[in-house]
Amino acid sequence: MATRHEEKFLIDYRQYVLLRSRAEAAMRPDEHAPDGSYLITSLYYDDRQDSALDEKLDGVRVHTKYRVRTYGADGDFIRLERKVKRGIMTEKHSTSLQREQIPLLSDPATALGTFSGRGLVMAADMRSRGLLPSVTVRYRRDAFVYPGTDTRLTFDTHVEALPPTAEHLFDASGAGIPALPPQTVVMEVKYGEYLPAFVRKLSAVCGGMQLSVSKYALCRAVWH
């Protein structure tokens, strides 16, 4: 379990190019992005009342989201994640997942015998909440880490919504519905107890609009 601050900003492409170049000069690439960027695809879950979506849109201080996330489209790295937001603080629980386990998360007629440990606890909680796939969110991420700290700076481009099916977690060929205007980028600053001055200055000078709505909510808005 990791608890951290998360701050999000909407910036334009010109700001993205400038801030990314500054980040490259003082930070190191994230381990998932040795070549500078990587693809993230997440299948989000919600109940039939859209409780997770409504809690986010209504500004409920504490709310929970479940998702299955992949990096790239080869299926080698699949995670089941539970995110709990408390204001700008985020607590994330994560466990590895097998491809064949994904349909079992929302099928109440199937036993959970293939899950164990944290995965079993999370899958059982999803079942008890009646969670079903609601939308697939895909984007390309540039990620940097400030040396000697747990501070991460990320830039997400080409945010798009796709059908809520597991197949889209492993197929990067199809185009989705853009969730943001062209040339718009989501910048995220993530840190633990303190934020290094260099990264704080980047977020302060970017002139971006701080974002309270998640990429999940943005994609739900265009998909439904």
- The pLDDT tens digits of the residues spanning 101-151 come to 999 999 988 889 999 999 999 999 999 999 999 999 999 999 999 999 999
88: pLDDT strictly greater than 90: no
44: pLDDT strictly greater than 60: yes
**Which tokens is 36 given?**
């500078």
pLDDT on residue 25: 92
DSSP secondary structure letters along 121-148: HHHHHHHHHT-EEEEEEEEEEEEEE-TT
Q: pTM value?
A: 0.92
DSSP secondary structure letters along 157-176: EEEEEE-S-GGGGS--SS--
pLDDT on residue 200: 87
90: pLDDT strictly greater than 90: no
Averaged pLDDT for residues 66-79: 87
78: pLDDT strictly greater than 60: yes
Averaged pLDDT for residues 45-61: 87
Q: Which residue has the higher pLDDT, 102 or 74?
A: 102
Q: How, if at all, do strands 152-162 and 38-46 pair?
A: unpaired
CA atoms within 13 A on the CB side of 81: 19
pLDDT on residue 60: 73
Least confident of 9-13, 131-135, 161-165: 9-13
Q: How confident is the model at residue 1 (pLDDT cuts 50, 70, 90)?
A: low
Domains of the chain: 2-223 (3.20.100.30)
Q: How far apart are CA 219 and CA 224, in angstroms?
A: 9
